[in-house]
């Protein structure tokens, strides 16, 4: 039963129109791909860089799942923990710790920065979940995704036991 539902859902999503994270990014001649989903065939694949908060248990759970998905393509996605003391935003398109704490940032293979829901679309496309990224970017769904993510981003520190002091410098989970 579940298998049939999953197959039906996936086949329905595959028929959805393609919406890219940044307007005009669709590749000519390959409408099913966006620029950020293009696969290179060189020996040195260009890596997508995902900046995440390693002290956020919700974020870490998702990153571990994505790392599991990309295990057969090592080097395709670099997961950068911004909570480590050695994080240097200068190495990542000048995305400071404070900027990265505000919302999800992903740097694609073309060295373009994506924030919020478009960042998730790029990240999911890089690990083989392009259908999920396209669904999130689909115009009927996108406003709900943007609103839901804005609520999460605004409240995640509180929801994970940390305070506002985490937005400007390194922080630790509160123990009281």
Instruction: Give CA–CA dist 82/170, Å, rounded.
Output: 9
Q: What b-and-e string marks burial along 6-15, b requiring 16 or more CB atoms within 10 Å of the CB? A: eeeeeeeeee
Check residue 7 and give its pLDDT. Answer: 46
Q: Is residue 122 part of a domain?
A: yes
Q: Is residue 19 part of a domain?
A: no
Tell me the pLDDT tens digit for each residue of 100-110.
999 999 999 99
pLDDT exceeds 80 at position 111: yes
Q: Is residue 58 part of a domain?
A: yes
Pair 136, 120: CB distance under 8 Å: yes
Q: What b-and-e string marks burial along 69-97, b requiring 16 or more CB atoms within 10 Å of the CB? A: ebeeeeebbebbbbbeeebebeebeebeb
Average pLDDT over residues 123-140: 95
Instruction: Give CA–CA dist 120/130, Å, rounded.
Output: 10
Average pLDDT over residues 126-144: 96
Give the chain's domain count: 1
Q: Is residue 140 part of a domain?
A: yes
* 132: containing domain: 45-162
Q: Is residue 21 part of a domain?
A: no
Average pLDDT over residues 18-38: 40
Q: Is residue 52 part of a domain?
A: yes
Q: Is residue 78 part of a domain?
A: yes
Check residue 120 and give its pLDDT. Answer: 96
Which helix (H) or strand (E) element contains residue 68? helix 57-69
96: domain CATH number is: 3.40.30
The encoded tokens of residue 126 equal 């890089």
Tell me the pLDDT tens digit for each residue of 140-155.
999 999 999 999 999 9
Check residue 37 and give its pLDDT. Answer: 40
Check residue 61 and give its pLDDT. Answer: 94
Average pLDDT over residues 48-52: 96
The encoded tokens of residue 10 equal 């996936």
Check residue 6 and give its pLDDT. Answer: 44
Q: Is residue 37 part of a domain?
A: no
């Amino acid at each position: 039963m579940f298998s049939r539902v999953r197959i039906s859902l996936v086949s329905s999503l595959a028929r959805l129109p393609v919406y890219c994270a940044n307007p005009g990014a669709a590749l000519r001649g390959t409408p099913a791909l966006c620029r950020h989903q293009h696969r290179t065939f060189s020996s040195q694949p260009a890596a997508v860089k995902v900046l995440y908060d390693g002290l956020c248990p919700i974020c870490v759970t998702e990153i571990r799942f994505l790392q599991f998905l990309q295990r057969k393509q090592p080097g395709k996605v670099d997961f950068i923990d911004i909570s480590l003391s050695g994080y240097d935003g200068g190495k990542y398109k000048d995305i400071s710790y404070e900027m990265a704490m505000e919302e999800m940032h992903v740097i694609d293979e073309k060295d373009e920065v994506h924030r919020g829901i478009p960042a998730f679309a790029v990240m999911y496309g890089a690990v083989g979940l392009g259908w999920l990224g396209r669904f999130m970017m689909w115009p009927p769904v996108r406003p709900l995704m943007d609103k839901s993510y804005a609520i999460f981003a605004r409240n995640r520190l509180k929801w994970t036991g940390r305070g506002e002091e985490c937005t400007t410098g390194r922080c630790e989970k509160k123990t009281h």
